[in-house]
Amino acid sequence: MTVVNLTSPAFNLTAITRPNILLLEPYRCARDDYKTGVLLDANENAYGPSVYTPDMASSNASSTFIDTDLIAGLNRYPDPHQEDVKQLLCDLRNAPNKEDSAIIPLAPDNLYVGVGSDECIDTVIRCFATPGKDKMLTCPPTYGMYSVAAQVNDVEVVKVNLDLETKGFPVRVDNVMEALANDPSIHLVYLCSPGNPTASLVDPEAVKKILSHPTWNGIVVVDEAYIDFSPVGSSMAPLVNLYDNLIVMQTLSKAFGMAGIRLGVSFASSAVARILNNVKAPYNISSLTSTLALKALSPSGLSNMDKNIDAIVSQRARLLQELPKIPGVGNFIGGEASNFLLVQILDKPGGVPCTATALKLYETLAGTKGVVIRFRGKEPGCVGSLRITVGTEEENTILLDKMKETLSEIYRSNM
C-alpha cells in the first residue's frame, strides 16, 4: 500500500518552531524510566490519598465515593473561580497564625489555583518575564522545572548556587542580593522550601531580606510543595499580605497524597493573584479535581493527612537511623524537613562520596531489585547522592535490605 503524504511542500516544522523550544532539554520525571516496583523516587505519598480509608476497599464504599450527581453534571463546565476550595486552603494556612494580630488573614482573593504547581510556575513566568528580554534567578541544586519553564518562555536563567559547603544548603543571601542589584532585568527569584533535592527549609529571614532589596524590582517565588512535612507554622504563605512581591506555591500532591488530581496553589497579594487569574484558562480546574480537593481539605481529609504525615515522619526517623548502618552509605547532606532524604554513597565502606557508585546502585536497584529511588549525583554539591522518598514501613524494610545487599555486591565486584 502506497502512502501519499499530503503535507504542503512549503511546510517546515523547524522553521516555524521557536528556537528555544528546539533547544529545550525536557524535564525528566520519575516515571520516565521506571513504572513498577517499590517506587520511592517521586516523593509521592506512599500511604495513599487522604480522602481514602481502608474500609473503602470493601463493601460498596468505593462505588459511592464520588457523587452520582457530580457524574451527571459532567456535561457542565466546572466552577472557574474555585471559591470553596480557596477558602479551605486559606483556613488551613491561617490556622497557625490566628493569635497573631500582625498577620492579615488570607482570603480567596489571595489565591490562584492551577493544574499542579507546574502550571503555577509557568503562569508566573508568562506574567512577569518578557521573552527574550527579562531573566529569572534560581539557586541550584533545585527543582528542574524552573529552568525548563523558563526556557519554554525564552527567559534566561541566572544561577546562584546554594551554599554547597554547608550541610542543609542554605541560601547565599548576599550573593543573591548582589546579583539582583547588578542586573535589573532579573524579574523573578525562585526558591524551593523545603528544597528539592535538599529537603531543607529556606530561612524566612533570608527570604525577607531579598523581598526588601532596596533597588530590585521583582518577585520572589517560594515553592512549598513539601511544607506539610515540616514543623507546623513553617509556611510563608501568610506573609503574602505583608510583602506585595511574594508568591508562595503549594500543592495537594505531596502531604495530601493527591498527586493524581493535579492541583497547585499560589498565594499572593490580591493584586498579584488577580493578574495570575487573568491569564489562566477559564476552566483550568476540573469538577472532579475540585470535588476531591474539597474532600481532602475537609475535617476528615485533614485528619487522614495528619495520620499519614505522622507515619511518614516516623519512617523518616527510622531511615535516618538505619541507613547509616549500611556499609557504604555516607552522610545525609540535606535537611530533614520533607518526605525524602538526600544521602551520599561511598566508593567503598569508609571511603569517599562516589557518583559512579551511586549511579550503579540506583540502576541496579531499579533494574533488578524492584526498588526505585532517584539519582542526584550530577547536581551541584550532590556528589555521589541519591534522593530517597520515605515509603511505608514495609517498603522501607525492602529498601534497607536491598540497598545493603546491592552495595555489598557492587563492592565485591570492584575488588
DSSP readout, 206-246? HHHHHHT-SS---EEEEE-TTGGGSPTT---GGGGGT-TTE
Q: Which three cell numbers stand for residue 377?
A: 549525583
Query: What's residue 3's pLDDT?
Result: 47
What is the dihedral sign for C-alpha 302, 391, 199, 161? negative
Dihedral sign (CA 37, 38, 41, 47): positive
* Confidence check: pLDDT of 235 > 60: yes
pLDDT surpassing 90 at residue 22: no
SS3 letters across 329-390: EEEECCCCCCCEEEEEEECCCCCCECHHHHHHHHHHHHHHHCEECEECCCCCCCCCEEEEEC
In angstroms, the CA 83 to CA 347 distance is 54
Identify the residue with better confidence: 41 or 179.
Answer: 179
pLDDT recorded at residue 349: 95
- Name residues whose C-beta falls within 8 Å of residue 115's C-beta, 6 or more positions apart in sequence: 262, 263, 264, 284, 285
Are 308 and 255 contacting, i.e. CB atoms less than 8 angstroms apart?
yes
Q: So what's the pLDDT on residue 53?
A: 56
Amino acid at site 330: G
In this prediction, residue 101 has a pLDDT band, given cuts at 50, 70 and 90, of confident
What proportion of the chain, given as a percentage, has pLDDT over 90? Answer: 69
Beta bridge partners of residue 112, listed in sequence order: 266
CATH number belonging to the domain at 76-297, selected among 3.40.640.10, 3.40.50.11260, 3.40.50.720, 3.20.20.80:
3.40.640.10
322 contacts 67 by C-beta, under 8 angstroms: no
- Give me the residues paired with residue 375 across strands: 386
Residue 139 predicted with pLDDT over 80:
yes
Mean pLDDT of 161-182: 96
In this prediction, residues 119-148 reach a mean pLDDT of: 94
Q: Which residue has the cell 520525571?
A: 29
Taking only the tens place, the pLDDT of each residue in 346-368 is: 999 999 999 999 999 999 999 99
Domain coordinates in residue numbering, the chain = 30-49+302-414, 76-297
Pick the range with the lowest mean pLDDT from 23-27, 92-96, 245-249, 305-309: 23-27
Q: What pLDDT is recorded for position 94?
A: 94
What is the residue-averaged pLDDT of the chain?
89
**Positive or negative torsion for Cα 299, 301, 302, 307:** positive
Question: Where does 106-259 have alpha helices with state H?
Answer: 116-128, 145-152, 173-182, 204-211
Say if domain 30-49+302-414 classifies as CATH 3.90.1150.10: yes
Cell (9 digits) for 151: 526556557
Crossing angle between the packed helical segments 173-182 and 204-211, to the nearest 10 degrees: 20
Phi, psi for residue 173 in degrees, rounded to 5: -60, -45
**Residue 11 CB neighbours (<10 A):** 8
* Closest by CA position to 391, among listed 34, 42, 51, 33: 42
